[in-house]
Structure 1
């Protein structure tokens, strides 16, 4: 490209920039204005020039805004001296036009008015664009002195200052009109302003809808009238203004009063209003009706209270507390929630380890704790929100409920259930922030879109947020886009509703007059949709002709989906209540989940004993999708099985890209699966079932979807647990009978042997009482384990508790593992006999003595064996007994006969020892 072409392109760019800049000032072809006339006259007089002009240069012409000494129309741009001045952006002086090649042939020089001298100072915008000049001309050659140059430059700046002032006023009026339209269209919000005394100075349409009073009825009246009487008595309105003044904003959530006397619950925000000089002039208050949300929250709380009766298989933390607050039972969910190892919570004070301080770090004495007070008073508490602390100090938001344990009419403890609601509260906070419509109305957080629909041309001017929602280019939306570009993304089912509301507003019929309001869906690029609430107000000409429809759109997708999912949960509860078949329960849960979330397939499957296969008896699938009942091997579909076995959800948005499934993409393609969620069901740390949700498109599985699915799974699990409970009741009755017979037989054996070897009645009573107490404590542990196996650690500690007169008497070392009911009873009685003898004659009979108790699992003869040892240390010298009583015979024969192992009881002088070796399977058998 030649340099001539480059110059032409540069001139063209300058001309386009000049045209755009002139449009901002709206100055061309306007009537004469005294301020500009005065400036050109001053330039003519001070510089002693017969001609002085304010010239604005367009692409094809020049326009004289003010002129002195020049008659007739503006000369063509080709003859303009100023066209040269605007190109160089600096003062242009031509001392003699007949000698300058740029002007020598100009008709203004060669003919009337025979100009010879020119001096022009460019008028430059803040953006650096020269839009014209202030120039002086003469018919005789001359030059400018330094003083005259300064005067011309200064006057040119004054001209530009007047132009900038005109532009600023224009832009301010435009902003004020737009802001007024937006605020008046935000009819979901009550927005009003007050003076410093709290009297209303403005009242928008939303406030009229919310409270019932019109603007005329509220102007000049105190805003206190919207507060309920009890808040007025407490001085809440004044306190709110004081908070807004000192902190810059005051948030509240409380009951408010309507004109008809009814009350509504609203969240509000107040902020100070300040003038252009920064002076405090009044307050702005914005309110949003949250009554429906409050009622929904109350309904949810009631539902949560009902679910709290479910036992630990729902994943809730369950504690049994003694009257002094000590933990006597904690389920695995409780240990996991608080971060303690298995069994380590037993015996610890719950308040001291998990509820000992406030969230801000202040101490929280037991005397101030509602849970402790209810425990000691034997009263129940429901749905009490508080903060617990994990072992590492991490706070957890929880909801707790306790039920007193009453025995013989006296409270002896309580069962406490605790639910971790940290994520739920965080989600609630996010939802509340998204519902603060004030932020939306002020274009914050990108959640609101504003538009201005010009009806005559069907052109919509919109902000970037609004445009992106409809998949319209934001830059095009700002300059105006046909309405059809937005309507093409409407859900087809909602177009008739939108058109009907538009027709009503345009016709002026209906109670709401020119107020427009419509809820509809907008299709998104991923195939989903978003719910929008559009509100606006029609602008008419003086003769009533519709001109424009400005307004704002609010994303109500979460609210709509929450309503759909809440309805689905209600339906699920109603249908599950009457079902008596496990397959029907699982299918009902799958069907409601799939229909509500718009999925391809949903199934509830059982995990086999190997934990490698999933058995699906019946699944739910979309009408156009084939069902897939049968057995499935986890390894054939990816590498996520370990996550399921650990109780974690597997959430995959795209099976073709997720590292856990992408190598099995072909298998999923054959099943028509592109995204999925698998939620494991855990019982006692083992995965027993999986709830599978699948879709044939890429999905962004949001936390609310996962929460909904977990809710469905929990309710389904409750229904299945109800069936299992009925089936297990008969088995439990038979087990109770069996245990009772075994217990009575052992009591009979202990009593017979004790009485047979006793030397007198008092000795027999003392020995028999101790043995029966040990037997009772061991049996309590079995009862806590639902009459089956129990952990060896609690058995050992329980058997020795009577003899632990100070810390350190018994030093235990060994892993916690399960043992059967009969071995547990025999082990407890054996330890009681050893401890009794040690207290009378051995290590426990002196202050310095103690007993070391150790157990471990060892491989012997290709089979796991349990080794158990008792060693007395620091006691008096030991001599072997001359004869063996029942206790010694029971130690050597009772447990050995039970587990089929060997027991070695020895009497070295340093202290009694007892060693036990038996197959682990015998210890874990339940006779």
Structure 2
């Protein structure tokens, strides 16, 4: 058996979960010690809770002090066992002979205590009785003490369950309140606001208290309000399931912001439409960026309009979709007349010597379809009037999502040789500008005879090659040395296929960057061969598709998360699923979800996701050991550390991070009512740049996980309430049907039946109101009795009640209330309540019978007229004898002695407390 000291710390933790220490007196516990002292005939009875260095009494009778030290505690010995602990004479027992409570006041000579043991098996105290003389317990007294101790533990467990339920409700509410980057607004069917979260308050400026009950069009701009945009959104949401929009909104202070909004219908558990949910996110920065891009596009249009070179944008079919004024002037066409024309047909239809020139032989047309760039190709174009023009063309492919869409063709008129070089130089600058504007397209030309690759600056940037070296020509190895190891074989296989005779090269692969990250590219090119088939050059273009790839990966991850969350029914597993998907998608080494302990200084991680071979950090961690950023988390701010060794918040604790193989960290806080309760931790062994898109993805994972947990809690609560309501309605309807049937069967006339039925239904209603106001499925017997007699209590002192406050089930409570109503009605008509000085004595108690405890309930009328036993039993007597007794399976004795009617019922306590 463990010693007292060994059990102190776990017991303190258990006591903390009950939240009972140093609380005010409560009737439920006071009644137990009073009943224990009365039934066991002891002068002292205590509910004792054993803490680290003291024992504290939640309830006491016959003992003046509210607590003692452990050195004075006899209960500290009692909690070491599992059953009743009795010391018949404390002066003769070595454990207590020197105890100050034995040697001094109050001179305890006898002790009996029953340990209070939690469902987890931890003893936290005792229900004990003391006497100042040696004695022993009878078997009945021992049974009583054990039974009452179980009642104390039941009360404690109910208190703990209520406390944990309240904490759970607060956490669920905090999930919504912690979504501070999103405004989440609930509305009723008329569009009036019913609630909104902290994110809405931060985004729009109104506090929830001042906005609830007002129309949601308040935060739309005036023009949208006038056009009825709110009503149109609600109509679309009803018809389509959701309504998306992007528009200007306004805050409380009148300022405007561009928001991305989504409205969805809200439905209750029966799928009835009860309102709407609108989610807003501030996208002002992105909107401004799009406007800036439009301005840049307009500026580029202005630039091209004033260029002396001709610029065309062509589709893969050689159709002109853009031509600048210089192109129209060069070819002799009017403004806009070239748009939609085939460039080869209108300007490149013959050779310079007059020979026909089919488009199938045209290098410009072929390059449009293959994506092959053309550089400084000399050819002859023709004006509209047939005049030939010597030109130099440069072709930059346009490749989107890995597919060739066409090209930008720059054409310089080189008829005057003196101006040729200048025009060519400006043409190349224009092409470079077009390529550089996207920052995604890079072109190369591999000279196979010299085995060097010429590339532009964009291509060099993507492949991490010095731009000057790339422009002068660098060996292929300079470009392939940073290929991702897993993609080298695929690249080589595609290259082999090209040299084996394939028409074009197309391959997607990754380039490892200096910081350890990688970028995705798609490369396309074609071989240029000599007339004898010998490969001469391999030109092509690479497009950086990293963002598309990452977007696809993250979108797929969110879809997977939704499927995983939909199949899970445990909040811990949901949190792990979110951490796993975030860590795996972002290529991290570790992801974990942890909760803060009561002190707020420790993070408890039940389970974490790691790459194979990476050490788990499951367990308890003190935040002070890993940096000084805890205050930021408590304020609800995300903590982002690109490098733990360089960031001043973590550098002093870098050694601890190195022990966990952590170089970069992100912590996203979960707040509940303004308090930090949990954190999502993301780790990587290398430095990372936590870009906004990564943070958006992580927040999306967190928000979806929180929402799934909140939805699970709400569904569980709704299911519980629905089952309870159905159960109670069935019981109530069955009881009403029985009362009505029996009343009408025995009534002598309709008026009498109406009066009797009304009284019984009133009593039933009062008992049912009491149950609906109490705990699910049960209530205390005292309020049931008082509620049933309230109609007949015309003055004080009519009823004398005596008995412990025991919990009884809902159905026995209804039957007991109806029985008491019948007895009180008869007493008011014929018995003690018909006289001014008459009264009724009602007692109930628990009788510890051999097999099981019984509840004994008695009714005795005092001070009424002489009783005459009725010649036959009426419905009321039969109702009394059969109703409750039939419900609980006990015996009932209804007697008519001359001095007053008596009624006694005895039944198993378990039957009274059952609700089946």
The TM-score with structure 2 as length reference comes to 0.42
- Higher relative contact order structure (alpha carbons within 8 Å, sequence separation ≥ 6): 2
The TM-score with structure 1 as length reference comes to 0.41
